[in-house]
Each structure stands twice: as structure tokens, then as C-alpha cells.
């Protein structure tokens, strides 16, 4: 092949290759433009879609803790003490010491603990219980029986307005308890009227009025320093005209001396009883975290105003849940309601079976 022909052939090959490269680049550019103009695939849409955040009202709230969780501190205290029964082969003195420690740590009290242990020993002997771990089930059954048989209902008058009188020292949760019960009564079709009979602290009446507005209950109040009994008289008198089915009376929890306080409460009770059958409940509100001090308070109020039931608040924040047993055993006053949280639904009727199940869960 001549040099000239070879050169022509080589040039032709280069031209053909350049043309093919140019054509390929053109096709690639056109394909890219088509892809950009075409609708995105489903996967692309999902990837490119903006993130939607639900409004706070649309976010599902976590389920409210049950009684077992609310009584976690008392349950944990019992579990630590009763843990000494695990792995034992016989019910010896150390096993009984573990049971005694559990009751005392839960603030059942020395006298009630001694009685319960004596009854538990007799029961274990009768039922021939030999496994130490079975003592836990036996103890639970013993507590249920110890708390059984009491009237824990809140009573209403057969005719006319019902009066519920709330007593207790300041800081136990009287006012919030009254508000929660007022809401429950209103929801049940019983319009509520609140009486601010703590006239020694302006803040007390203001707080009750605030709660009344929240739950939809009217409030009767007097001037600061006025006679508390006159407020109760006015409230009971106004209940009929306002269509109120129940009057909830908030009282003072502290005065210059305990004697003055108790005498004032006696007077309030007499005024509430002027309408026969109206006064149905005198409820003592106790902060569970005070333990045995709460028992002392209960004695003082019970002696003064014939308490019909106890509302035990703040049980969720203490390991002293055993005070329930001490109150009922020492005073014979039923615990009717327990507070296990801040929400209105956290004030619940006291049920011995539910209570002990939660403690030993």
C-alpha cells in the first residue's frame, strides 16, 4: 500500500471515530433532558416529598400509667425487703424478719405490723405453708382481708343538697381534691357548688375560685377574716336556688392554735347539719408522704369532727403506702379515695384488691 493511500485511510478512521463520539454525547444529553422533564418515580416522589409533622393535638398521647406504676415507690420498697425470702428453703426467723421489715418500711406502723405478723404466723401454720416465697402470696391475701368490709362509697342526701366537708392541714391537697371531686360530680349530672370556708387566707379562696372556673362550679366566698360558718350557711342556703346537687366545703388547715382550729371546725359542722340530712361526708385529706405523722393528724381531726372517710393524696410520690393499713386499723376510718397523680382522673376510689395487687405485682 502506498504511503498516500495509508494516510487517507487513517484520516478516515479518525473522522469516523470522532463522528461516533459526537453522536453518543448528543444522545446522552437528550436522554438527560427527557429524564429531567419526565414525572419522578414513586420512590423519587417519596424521597423528595416534604416531611409532614403532626400538630400536637394529632400526636397520640402515651397510655396513662396504671395503679401498679403509680405505686412504684411503695412496691419497690416492699420488693427489696421481701427479696430476702427468695432462695430460702425454710421459713425461719430471718424469713419472718424480712416480712416485718417490709411492713415497717412501707410505714404500716409498729402496732399494726405486730398484729399482722401474729395473724400471718397463725395462718401459715394452719395452711401448712413451708415455702418462704409462699409467704408473699399469704401476706397479700392477709392484707386484702384486713382492708375488706368497709363502706367506701361517697353518700348523697336523699333530698335536697348534699354537703361534703373537707378537713385537714394545709398542703395536703384539699383544694385540688375538692376540684377533682366537683368535676366528677358535674360529669355525673350533679351540679356542684364550692364553699370557700378558709377565710383566714385570701389566697385559699382565690385558689378555690380558680379551680371552680376550671371545672364549671360556682363558688360562694366571704370577706377575708369573715366567719367561716357564715360562708357555709350561705352556700347551703344558695345551693337550692342555684340547682346545686352537692356543696363541697373547703376549710382552714391552720390557725393560731390547734384548739382554735378544731373548735372552728366543730362550729362549721354544726352549721352544715342545720338542714337535716344534708351533711353526708366529713372527709379528712392526708398527704401520704407524711406517714405516721398523717396518722397523728387523723386522730386529732377524727376526735373533733367525726370524720367519715379519708382521702389519701400523693401516694405516687412516696414509699409509705402502708399508711392505709395503719389509718384503718388504728382509727377504723375507711380510706375512700386515693390520689396517684395530678390529673383529675388520678383521684380514684380506693379498692383493697386493686391496691394490694399493684403493691405485689
The stretch 165-188 carries a mean pLDDT of: 94
What confidence score (pLDDT) does residue 13 get? 56
**Could you please report the per-residue DSSP string of 161-225?**
-EEEEEE--TTSSHHHHHHHHHHHHHHTT--EEEEE--TT-HHHHHHHHHHHHHHT-EEEE--TT
Residue 273 within any structural domain of the chain: yes
Residue that wins the pLDDT comparison between 326 and 51: 326
> Rounded CA gap, 106 and 79, in Å?
11
CATH number at residue 242: 3.40.50.300
Give the pLDDT band of residue 262 (cuts 50, 70, 90).
very high
> Rounded CA gap, 209 and 174, in Å?
14
| Closest by CA position to 81, among listed 70, 92, 95, 71 | 95
On whether both 296 and 177 belong to a single domain, the answer is yes
| Closest by CA position to 163, among listed 253, 78, 67, 270 | 270
Residue 171 within any structural domain of the chain: yes
On whether both 135 and 232 belong to a single domain, the answer is no
Q: What are phi and psi of 231, to 5 degrees?
A: -65, -45
pTM over 0.85: no
On whether both 203 and 76 belong to a single domain, the answer is no
Q: Examine the pLDDT at 31 and tell me if it is beyond 60.
A: no
On whether both 102 and 180 belong to a single domain, the answer is no
On whether both 175 and 219 belong to a single domain, the answer is yes
What confidence score (pLDDT) does residue 175 get? 93
What confidence score (pLDDT) does residue 34 get? 47
Residue 45 within any structural domain of the chain: no
On whether both 273 and 346 belong to a single domain, the answer is yes
Strands of the sheet with 335-339, listed across from one edge: 218-221, 192-196, 246-250, 162-167, 279-287, 309-313, 335-339, 347-349
The stretch 173-200 carries a mean pLDDT of: 94
The mean predicted confidence, pLDDT, of the chain is: 83
On whether both 208 and 95 belong to a single domain, the answer is no
> Rounded CA gap, 342 and 214, in Å?
14
On whether both 77 and 206 belong to a single domain, the answer is no
Residue 51 within any structural domain of the chain: no
What confidence score (pLDDT) does residue 56 get? 29
Q: Examine the pLDDT at 184 and tell me if it is beyond 90.
A: yes
On whether both 115 and 188 belong to a single domain, the answer is no
Q: Which domain holds residue 288?
A: 162-359
On whether both 200 and 90 belong to a single domain, the answer is no
Give the pLDDT band of residue 225 (cuts 50, 70, 90).
confident
Residue 11 within any structural domain of the chain: no
Number of domains in the chain: 2
Give the pLDDT band of residue 18 (cuts 50, 70, 90).
low
- Domain boundary pick from 147, 177, 198: 147
CATH number at residue 93: 1.20.120.140
Q: What are phi and psi of 313, to 5 degrees?
A: -100, 165
Residue 267 within any structural domain of the chain: yes
On whether both 101 and 197 belong to a single domain, the answer is no
User: Which ranges of 38-170 does DSSP label H, i.e. alpha helix?
Assistant: 42-48, 67-70, 72-82, 93-105, 110-126, 134-147
- Domain boundary pick from 85, 113, 147: 147
The stretch 226-254 carries a mean pLDDT of: 93
What confidence score (pLDDT) does residue 7 get? 52
The grid cell for 53 is 409533622
Residue 337 within any structural domain of the chain: yes
Residue 210 within any structural domain of the chain: yes
Quickly count: other Cβ atoms within 10 Å of residue 243's Cβ. Answer: 10
The stretch 160-179 carries a mean pLDDT of: 93
b/e burial code for range 37-68 (CB count within 10 A of at least 16 → b): eeeeeeeeeeeeeeeeeeeeeeeeeeeeeebe
What confidence score (pLDDT) does residue 40 get? 42
Considering only the C-alpha atoms of the chain, give the largest distance between any 2 of them, rounded to a whole number of Å: 139
On whether both 192 and 321 belong to a single domain, the answer is yes
Give the range among 65-79, 92-106, 172-186, 346-360 with minimum mean pLDDT: 65-79
Amino acid at each position: 500500500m502506498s504511503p498516500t493511500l495509508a494516510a487517507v485511510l487513517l484520516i478516515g478512521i479518525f473522522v469516523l471515530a470522532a463522528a461516533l463520539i459526537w453522536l453518543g454525547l448528543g444522545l446522552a444529553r437528550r436522554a438527560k433532558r427527557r429524564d429531567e422533564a419526565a414525572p419522578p418515580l414513586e420512590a423519587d416522589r417519596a424521597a423528595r416529598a416534604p416531611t409532614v409533622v403532626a400538630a400536637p393535638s394529632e400526636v397520640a398521647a402515651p397510655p396513662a400509667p396504671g395503679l401498679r406504676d403509680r405505686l412504684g415507690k411503695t412496691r419497690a420498697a416492699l420488693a427489696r425487703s421481701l427479696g430476702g425470702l427468695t432462695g430460702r428453703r425454710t421459713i425461719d426467723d430471718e424469713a419472718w424478719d424480712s416480712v416485718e421489715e417490709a411492713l415497717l418500711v412501707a410505714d404500716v406502723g409498729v402496732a399494726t405490723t405486730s398484729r399482722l405478723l401474729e395473724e400471718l404466723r397463725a395462718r401459715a401454720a394452719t395452711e401448712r405453708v413451708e415455702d418462704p416465697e409462699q409467704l408473699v402470696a399469704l401476706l397479700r391475701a392477709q392484707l386484702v382481708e384486713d382492708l375488706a368490709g368497709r363502706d367506701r362509697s361517697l353518700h348523697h342526701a336523699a333530698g335536697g343538697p348534699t354537703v361534703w366537708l373537707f378537713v385537714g392541714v394545709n398542703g395536703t391537697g384539699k383544694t385540688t381534691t375538692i376540684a377533682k371531686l366537683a368535676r366528677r360530680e358535674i360529669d355525673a349530672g350533679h351540679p356542684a357548688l364550692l364553699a370557700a370556708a378558709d377565710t383566714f387566707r385570701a389566697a385559699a379562696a382565690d385558689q378555690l375560685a380558680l379551680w371552680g372556673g376550671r371545672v364549671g362550679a360556682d363558688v360562694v366566698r366571704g370577706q377575708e377574716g369573715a366567719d367561716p360558718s357564715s360562708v357555709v350557711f350561705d352556700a347551703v342556703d344558695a345551693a337550692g336556688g342555684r340547682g346545686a346537687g352537692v356543696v363541697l366545703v373547703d376549710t382552714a388547715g391552720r390557725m393560731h392554735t390547734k384548739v382554735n382550729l378544731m373548735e372552728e371546725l366543730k362550729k362549721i359542722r354544726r352549721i352544715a347539719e342545720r338542714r337535716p340530712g344534708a351533711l353526708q361526708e366529713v372527709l379528712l385529706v392526708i398527704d401520704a408522704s407524711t406517714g405516721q405523722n398523717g396518722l397523728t393528724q387523723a386522730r386529732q381531726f377524727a376526735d373533733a369532727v367525726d370524720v367519715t372517710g379519708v382521702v389519701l393524696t400523693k401516694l405516687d410520690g412516696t414509699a409509705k403506702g402502708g399508711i392505709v393499713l395503719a389509718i384503718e386499723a388504728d382509727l377504723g376510718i375507711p380510706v375512700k379515695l386515693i390520689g396517684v397523680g395530678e390529673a383529675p382522673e388520678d383521684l380514684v376510689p380506693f379498692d383493697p384488691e386493686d391496691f394490694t395487687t399493684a403493691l405485689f405485682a
